[in-house]
Chains A and B, each alone.
Chain A
Amino acid sequence: MELILKARDLKGGYTLQSPLQRSAQASQEYIDAVSNVSMELYRDEVFGIAGESGCGKSTLIKILYGYINPPLTLKQGSVELYAEEEKPIDISSLGLEERQRRVWWKRISYIPQASMNILNPTMRIRDHFAEMFKIHMGMGKEKAYPKAQEYAESMGLPRDALRAFPHQLSGGMRQRTVIAMAVLLKPELVLADEPSSALDVITQRTALTFLKDVQRGLGNTLVLVTHDMGIQAVLTDRVAIMYAGKIIEIGETAGIFEKPLHPYTQALIDSLPRLGDKSQRTGLGGQPPDLSRPPAGCRFHPRCAHAMDACNREEPQLLEKGDGRHVACWLYA
């Protein structure tokens, strides 16, 4: 499998002003959203990132893309993009302008979360596409519009949709537009953050199938962030489970679903309904930790049924367990 991206020891989060305004010096709080995350992505795969709300998946995606606006800061770590002939590019060290010019949309693209209001209300769909061609590929108006038309047709978007303004399209159609937009310049990597959460279940299926077809057609890498384990099961080849800013398990999707190792993963998968199994679904008690003051040792230990002494003293590292599976848990150390 060919490497396309390598993230090393990423540590990033949000610096907020403390809500106590009456103090003379406002103190700063740091929310440790992504803590020591390392991962590798390969070509032509669908890689899932799963976990509950607030676990850091969206922040991780933003860091991978290099979309780091205050109050988000990257404290440490590097993200390297591996190209075919050249040396790997360290995205995290590039300035914003260079990132925009060299990397964004051409090599990596990004589908942000909650994409309902994401298109310019005063621009038609074909204007959106043409704009990208004009700016990124320097095309003039006369070439950009026909190309936009051609592209939309190749993506299976109907003629009427092109002429329309965003508010005239249904949610599903808008999402397909956003997906088509993401692969406009044929990037090698697409980061999709909850691409279907704003849609109803039926439309979700259409949008996600579209996404998967696009990936298969282009043979690029798709990173799919979603808390919905059902989607992970169906669409991804490999999946990483995140909890409280850390990756706690990573491996081939089929394997993880069949035999989850980390207690948190087990709880996640146990909560899914199964055909034929009529027993009551159990949830996990407790809450995810406050990331401005994360617990010592393993961040999951306060909720873990198998917690041991070691768990609240030292953080477990991600260790290989064979078959590409990695787990960060003292049970398997």
Chain B
Amino acid sequence: MAPKISKHLIKYIGVRTVIYLATIFSGVTITFFLVKAMPVNAIENILFSITQVGQVYDPEALILLRKTLYEIFGVGGNPLESYVLFLRRVFTFDFGPSIISYPTPARELVFRRLPWTISLLSVSTLISWIVGNLLGVLAGYLRDRKFAKVLEAVAITLYPMPYYIMALILLIFFAVIIPIFPLGGGISVIVESLTLEVILNMIWHSLLPALSLILIGALGWSFLSSRTLTLETLTEDYISYAEVRGLPGNHVLRRYILRNILVPQMTVLGLGLGGIFSGALLTEVLFAYPGVGGLLYYAIFSGDLNTLMAVVFTAMIAVATATYLLDLLYPLIDPRVRYR
């Protein structure tokens, strides 16, 4: 049963698309001006500190780096020109060559690692959201039971914790105290082809990072907001009307409560995507997971600004796109958006 394509719906999609594009655009612009606002000697500083650390660099690389940096920072040339050039760079994903594996372009490094990050993130976020929703609804509906109170206490502890702190805790616990899980890396077998063994191995390595994300998500913000929304929904007239009509508890839970908190919960998800992404990056670093986060770490360490920029913009676009897709899902779930 496809949703009726009403005029209202089309307008909605149009507006969201414009906002999507505009957001990316302004994000890029803000970053540009932020970077530009930094003192010029910064570039020389970076170059200086790179050579200082004692890494061996291809001299050509350094020259190109200086050139790229000067271009990006828009030094020596009028600002509008450099801005346009910058925009062009970003939208063709041309961030110049990476330093850490010269002459591989920065964008290639990012693209190689992106699938790992996206798969880790999407699976973990999805699981956290679903589990958090279900637990929250139960805990809200049965608020006086012991398990609900215990869950609430747990959630209060986990919610304010950033993902990487949880990652650290898990690291200490599972890797050192009770060594079961691998401490890092994405895979520990040679990949010939995508066999089941390979896939299982990948999943095994991603368990701990995923767990950090899921624990904080499912038992933290997702649970807490789901529970609060449930408590608010329970005071609505349509809930007591359902009760009065003799509708059984689990039906009410499903069709009246859960169904009605889905939309606000999606809003909560949408707002949190930026934070989830940032947290995931750091978690990857801690577990040496071969995603974009790990790349970030190397790039910082080596002062590879090209790769850094590539990562930052990829992150921005990824999060904006995810939010956009989420926005597009709204009409499917919320009849109030579909029809006026």
Contacts and interface: CB of A to CB of B under 8 A. Distances in A.
Contact of B336 (A65, A121, A136): A121
Interface stretch (B38-46, B214-222, B251-259, B296-304): B251-259
A150 to B, nearest CB: 20
Interface bin, chain B: 20 to 34
A110 B244 contact: yes
Give the dominant DSSP class at A's interface: mixed
Interface of A: 65, 67, 100-101, 104-105, 109-110, 112, 114-124, 131-132, 135-136, 164-165, 167-168, 181
Given A112-B240, A168-B339, A121 B245 contact: no
Nearest to B248: A135
Contact of A117 (B237, B244, B334): B237
Nearest to B340: A168
Contacts of A105: 245-246
B68 interface: no
B238 A117 contact: yes
Contact of A167 (B236, B246, B336): B336
Nearest to A96: B243
Interface of B: 236-238, 240-248, 251, 255-256, 259-260, 333-336, 339-340
A123 B255 contact: yes
A135 B247 contact: yes
The list of the 3 closest CB pairs from A to B, nearest first, reads: A100-B246, A104-B246, A165-B335
Nearest to A103: B246
B244 A104 contact: yes
Contact of B260 (A100, A110, A115, A122): A122
A168 B338 CA distance: 11
Most-contacted residue by chain A among B238, B333, B340 (CB, 10 A): B238
A119 B247 contact: no
Contacts of B243: 67
B246 A118 contact: no
Nearest to A100: B246
B238 A119 contact: yes
B328 to A, nearest CB: 18
16 contacts: A65-B244, A100-B246, A104-B244, A109-B245, A116-B237, A120-B238, A120-B255, A120-B256, A121-B336, A122-B333, A122-B335, A123-B259, A135-B248, A164-B339, A165-B335, A165-B339
A117 B236 contact: yes
A112 B237 contact: yes
Contacts of B236: 117
A112 B260 contact: no
A109 B237 CA distance: 16
Contacts of B260: 120-122
A136 B246 CA distance: 8
Nearest to B336: A167
Contacts of A120: 238, 242, 255-256, 259-260
B335 A101 contact: no
Given A65-B244, A117-B236, A132-B245, 8 more contacts: A105-B246, A109-B245, A112-B244, A117-B238, A120-B256, A165-B335, A167-B335, A167-B336
